[in-house]
Amino acid sequence: MAKEFTVTPWKVEGEVDYTKLIKEFGVEAVNDKLLDRIKKHTNELHYMLKRKIFFSHVDMNFILDEYEKGNRFYLYTGRGPSGNTHLGHLVPWIFTKWLQDKFDAELWFQMTDDEKFIFNPALELEETNRLAYENALDVIALGFKRGKTFIFSDIDYGKTLYKQAIRVAKRLTISTTKAAFGLTDSDSVGKHFFTTIQSVPAFLPSVLKGKNIPCLIPCAIDQSVHFRLTRDIVGKLGYYKPAGLYNVFLPALNGPKGKMSASIAETAVYTTDAPEVVEKKIRKYAFSGGRDTVEEHRTKGGNPDVDVSYQWLRFFEEDDKKLERIYDEYKSGKLLSGELKEILIEKLTTFLKKHQENREKARKALDSYILKD
């Protein structure tokens, strides 16, 4: 039978079935027992955990076992700088910031300017490298701690990374990269090699500090494929296997099931979009779960489960009670589709105004976050 959806680090297509992905990618579902265990250390649960936006994990119990023994973990995540940052990218970063605060953990943040050069025929290295530092402003704007947050471009930190990447490359075969990523004989050696570079920050701090340090990687499920390979190999190199906490995708504006993609500008909201642009995109493109006429909507109610404005509020409205009220009112028909869109517009434009101010301030602070050879 043909597969009805595809998820790789470079392509997400079709209606993603997350239950199936859990099996396919060899990860575990986040359950209430795990949430209780996390809460013991954090006192409260982030809304993205409560709502199971972070729906799956690998080895979270190992991370907590070690933490309880006093062996602290660091966080590792990243970005492939192919354009402006969009709201989907912020999802794992907002949650990572919470983890940094709650566990007082270091964050190692990789900018894969090499990856985006290799995979995107239209992009030059100078451009992806420039974008690495533009995107880093979005990371800093979220409030990550200076002195505990290390951002690096693969190109500008290449000497350090390469030394470790070749240790991974020596143990990675082409048959593995083909099976894991769907790469073929016609793909460049650059594509086959790339995953070794993304694996390095999952053990680099252990190398640099000369002792084994547990690593936790929060990101969307698409990237977990890399870390499945990483786990096999770094285990053999004598380091801890990295753990992961994986989120579902923020959908594109025009459809509730797929992934927001940076390459389709109308259906993504970028962190640099002006308020009028955000307003226009949402009014024009946000897929509605409302009925055809106001009368029908009032009597039968809307469907928040497919309505993209509601779905987006699940990712960005922290207040559980407010969200629940919106859900109920939309479902009952009290709240109209246009009104729901206005709630989302208000939420996002307020958030982005602050974010854009912080982003400009971050320009001055940038150097103090960057690692270079």
Binding residues (CB under 6 A) for ligand TYM: these are 9, 76-80, 88-89, 91-92, 110, 112, 115, 198, 217, 219-220, 222-223, 247, 249-250, 259-260
3-class DSSP state for residue 210? coil
Q: Which of residues 138 and 333 has its CB atom nearest to ligand TYM in the complex?
A: 138
CB 364 → ligand TYM: shortest distance, Å?
24
The burial of 207, by beta-carbon neighbours within 10 Å (0-12 exposed, 13-18 middle, 19 or more buried), is given as middle
CB 333 → ligand TYM: shortest distance, Å?
30
Q: Which of residues 141 and 335 has its CB atom nearest to ligand TYM in the complex?
A: 141
Q: Which of residues 207 and 339 has its CB atom nearest to ligand TYM in the complex?
A: 207
Phi, psi of 74 (to 5 degrees): -115, 165
Q: How far apart are CA 173 and CA 109, in angstroms?
A: 26
Taking CA atoms, 57 is separated from 31, 126, 216, 248, in Å, by 10, 35, 10, 12
Q: Which of residues 64 and 75 has its CB atom nearest to ligand TYM in the complex?
A: 75
Residue 170: count other Cβ atoms within 10 Å of its Cβ.
Answer: 10
CB 296 → ligand TYM: shortest distance, Å?
31
CB 96 → ligand TYM: shortest distance, Å?
9
Taking CA atoms, 40 is separated from 64, 67, 98, 292, in Å, by 10, 12, 15, 47
Residue nearest to ligand TYM (CB): 80
Q: Which of residues 51 and 298 has its CB atom nearest to ligand TYM in the complex?
A: 51
CB 110 → ligand TYM: shortest distance, Å?
4
Q: Where are the alpha helices (DSSP H) in 170-303?
A: 174-181, 189-199, 204-209, 224-237, 275-285, 294-300
Length of the chain as a residue count: 373
Residue 201: count other Cβ atoms within 10 Å of its Cβ.
Answer: 25
CB 297 → ligand TYM: shortest distance, Å?
28
- Could you please report the per-residue DSSP string of 78-132? EE--SSS-BHHHHHHHHHHHHHHHHHT--EEEEE-HHHHHHH-TT--HHHHHHHH
Q: Which of residues 115 and 279 has its CB atom nearest to ligand TYM in the complex?
A: 115
Q: Which of residues 138 and 307 has its CB atom nearest to ligand TYM in the complex?
A: 138
Q: What sign has the CA pseudo-torsion 313, 9, 78, 59?
A: positive
Q: How far apart are CA 50 and CA 71, in angstroms?
A: 26
Q: Which of residues 230 and 301 has its CB atom nearest to ligand TYM in the complex?
A: 230
CA–centroid distance for 154 within its chain: 18
Query: Do residues 177 and 202 make contact, with C-beta atoms less than 8 angstroms apart?
Result: no
CB 328 → ligand TYM: shortest distance, Å?
26
3-state secondary structure 33-76: HHHHHHHHHHCCCCHHHHCCCEEEEECHHHHHHHHHCCCCCEEE
CB 135 → ligand TYM: shortest distance, Å?
8
Query: Do residues 140 and 365 make contact, with C-beta atoms less than 8 angstroms apart?
Result: yes
Q: Which of residues 198 and 309 has its CB atom nearest to ligand TYM in the complex?
A: 198
CB 54 → ligand TYM: shortest distance, Å?
11
CB 186 → ligand TYM: shortest distance, Å?
21
DSSP conformation class of 201: G
Q: Which of residues 49 and 336 has its CB atom nearest to ligand TYM in the complex?
A: 49
